[in-house]
Amino acid sequence: MKAKLVRTKNLTRLWEVVEAIKSASSGEPRLGLIYGPAGRGKTRAVDHLAAKTGAVYVSAARVWTPNAMLKCILAGLGGTLTVSAADNLTRAAEALGERLGVPSLGNGLLIVDEADYLAKGAQPPNTPPLLDTVRDLHDASGAPVLLVGMDGLAKILSRFAQFWDRVRMSEEFAPLDSGELIHLAGELAGLSMDEPSAEVIRRATHGNLRQAIVHLARLEAVAKAQGSQKVRPEWAQKISAEVARGKLRASGARLKVVK
């Protein structure tokens, strides 16, 4: 299996959100949101985005306080940290503002992964302190900010009017379709996969990218053993059953037939 990022519809969605918040005029909302269940490739995609554009990337943590978050962001910006949250906010905002209009520095883009932690202890209509701090940083810097989180994040954030009003665009990372699986098989494993085989994998994985890669890696091994790069539907069915049995042995659950 090749270790590379393959262009999918979700990757296109990500770039559309980024372009929308980066191209917004001064004074307009520049917050963006990417969300979706685990395993759909969000973190891998934004890792690639940060590396390609020079954007600042941080991953939120359960133990973050507003000042801890600001220190993490400021460290990513190469700034000098202080003990004062107010000073760190000012320094981070200035550093992000200085990156605006500099393509090699992501045009000031800040990416916050695992953003669900920003809304911990949410009790609407009171906005959680971490979200308030992100909003303050967004307003003070004028920089685009991309939040990345799980599938329930958009609904949670929409309950905080002052914050949600600043979200310019949000997109969900959707399940892979059969066409994307066929493309992934060719790009990552050099396999030729037909629609019936791809549909078997799609149903077994529910379009989950992480699980699809597990299946494709096993199919690659079968293809090498068989001396053929053309995937047969029975191979896909066998691999899907083997993966399902392996998970069931680990969980102690009973097998549920995928129709």
Write the pLDDT tens digit of every residue in 142-177. Answer: 999 999 999 999 999 999 999 999 999 999 999 999
Rounded Cα distance between 125 and 9, Å, is: 35
Write out the H or E segment, with its range, that includes residue 32. strand 31-35
The Cβ-side half-sphere exposure at 120, using a 13 Å CA radius, reads: 12
- Specify the pLDDT at position 248: 63
- Specify the pLDDT at position 258: 46
CB atoms within 10 A of CB 161: 10
Amino acid at 17: V
8 Å CB contact between 42 and 36:
yes
Write the pLDDT tens digit of every residue in 217-239. Answer: 999 999 999 999 999 999 999 99
Cis previous bond, 66, omega within 30: no
Q: Residue 254: pLDDT above 90?
A: no
Q: Where are the domains of the chain?
A: 9-172, 178-251
Rounded Cα distance between 220 and 16, Å, is: 33
Burial of 12 (0-12, 13-18, 19+ CB in 10 A): exposed
Rounded Cα distance between 159 and 122, Å, is: 9
Helix (H, G, I), strand (E, B) or coil at 47: helix
- Specify the pLDDT at position 195: 96
Q: Mind giving me the DSSP string for 65-124?
A: -HHHHHHHHHHHTTPPP-S-HHHHHHHHHHHHHHHTT-GGGGGG-EEEESGGGGGTT-BT
Q: pTM of the prediction? A: 0.92
Write the pLDDT tens digit of every residue in 42-99. Answer: 999 999 999 999 999 999 999 999 999 999 999 999 999 999 999 999 999 999 999 9
* Rounded percentage of the chain residues whose pLDDT exceeds 70: 95
Whole-number average pLDDT of the chain: 94
Q: Span 178-251: which CATH code?
A: 1.10.8.60
Q: Which CATH class is domain 9-172?
A: alpha beta
Q: Residue 244: pLDDT above 90?
A: no
Write the pLDDT tens digit of every residue in 103-129. Answer: 999 999 999 999 999 998 878 888 999
Rounded Cα distance between 128 and 243, Å, is: 41
Residues in the chain: 259
